[in-house]
Chains A and B, each alone.
Chain A
């Protein structure tokens, strides 16, 4: 096992991903990363699949939301003395090969948080479905308005953080609004952040499952309400 990678804790939030979770996790395990999977109250066989894999496996007894699952995973990883924490999607959309790309600025001490972006390289950009690309372009401005952070990709779940940065993030949004909350906290904690190019693999599975565009409205609503009800 590659000892160096073991201090990189890859946190995966999984909800009803029994079909693909094994194929998502096996490469990560093979590369020697410490993998933390949080089963967010799945109703399928996700849990039993996880039981057969050499990963840290946590389970929310009820479904709380992706934000909550990520926060649980991060808190756990920190307790295991993680040096770096990576957020990685359970459905196979993220490529393991991009993890070193995200880690590089952290290892060099150039940033505290690295965010993946689909819009930094042309081949990545063109892989994003037309409609989603448009929505994401608009989302950038809304994101700037609410978080004060300008990103080329405002809604990308692929992130890497140093231990110190992860310790200063405490997500309270359980649902999809956590993505914006992370950015708000990065801004408020004055953490240094950069974007790095990452690819997203849109498979039929992930496309079918993907975030409905109507969620955009819910996210904005969540942001407004969070501002009011601290």
Chain B
């Protein structure tokens, strides 16, 4: 592997991390997915372009480039789904917690009254 490849992978990895930690918006998420999907479709439809593009990036074959793009898309979508699951879990927790607090049982009703507090008619 050439140094430039390490650098690009590192930058891409850092970029993805930074994106998820700070920059994410729904619009960008969807744009990225759409963009990658469109790119994938175009490259499959016009294979010659993929070969030319691959040469440009220093990748051996057009197919390889498509695979790289596809893998990136897959990983990205997985992370998006994970983020969504976490958000859902948070909301579920809030819901269950609200119910638990609302229906809380208090200890007072189980405390046995002192003799002088018992109702007069009790034996």
Contacts and interface: CB of A to CB of B under 8 A. Distances in A.
Interface in A199-225: 225
Interface in A46-71: 50-62, 64, 68, 71
Nearest to A72: B97
B96 interface: yes
Contacts of A75: 97, 101
Given A58-B101, A61-B96, A72-B97, A229 B107 contact: no
A174 B53 CA distance: 46
Interface stretch (B27-35, B67-75, B86-94): B86-94
Given A53-B110, A228-B17, A64 B93 contact: yes
B101 A79 contact: yes
Interface string B98-123: 01110111111011000000000000
Contacts of B82: 225, 229
Contact residues on B (Cβ < 8 Å of other chain), bracket: 20 to 34
Secondary structure of the A contact surface, majority rule: mixed
A230 B97 contact: no
B21 A230 contact: yes
Nearest to A76: B101
Given A53-B110, A68-B93, A59 B21 contact: no
B83 interface: yes
A43 to B, nearest CB: 16
A227 interface: yes
A90 interface: no
A76 to B, nearest CB: 5
A137 interface: no
B20 interface: yes
B90 A68 contact: no
B93 A58 contact: no
A56 B21 contact: no
Contacts of B110: 52-54
A65 to B, nearest CB: 9
Nearest to B100: A58
A55 B104 CA distance: 10
Residue among A35, A60, A229 with the highest chain B CB neighbour number at 10 A: A229
Interface string B20-48: 11000000000000000000000000000
A38 B100 contact: yes
Contacts of A72: 97, 100-101
Nearest to B95: A61
Given A59-B100, A62-B96, A71-B97, A54 B86 contact: no
14 contacts: A54-B111, A56-B107, A57-B105, A58-B100, A58-B103, A59-B103, A60-B96, A60-B99, A60-B100, A61-B96, A64-B96, A68-B96, A225-B86, A229-B20
Given A60-B99, A68-B93, 13 more contacts: A56-B105, A56-B107, A57-B105, A58-B104, A59-B103, A68-B96, A72-B101, A75-B97, A79-B101, A172-B90, A174-B93, A225-B82, A229-B86
